[in-house]
Amino acid sequence: MQRHKSVEKRVRTSKKANVVNRAGKSRVKTAIRRVVEATTPDGAQSALREAVSVLDKSVKTGLIHKNKASNQKSRLNILVNKIGK
């Protein structure tokens, strides 16, 4: 690694961003998993609401792309509709 001040600062900021991004991605995965593992229609609906909120927040912070979030929300919606039937 080069010993420039800008490089050293970039390494520090990258480490901080890495921690934040890992936590955010973990939050998204957990929310999606809760919807997939839901057994009752009411539980699935509440888990879906939470997952949509987490996905929208992750798009707002730039963690994932808006189209990816849209695709995941659509897929989860289809899954919840199947549970309801």
Give the tens place of pLDDT for each residue, 10-54. 999 999 999 999 999 999 999 999 999 999 999 999 999 999 999
Dig out the tokens for 66 from the structure.
Answer: 């808006």
Neighbours of 17 (CB within 10 A): 10
Q: How far apart are CA 54 and CA 32, in angstroms?
A: 9
The pTM (predicted TM-score) of the whole model is 0.88
- H or E segment and range at residue 49: helix 41-60
Domains of the chain plus CATH, in order, are: 5-84 (1.20.58.110)
Strands of 1-85, DSSP E? none
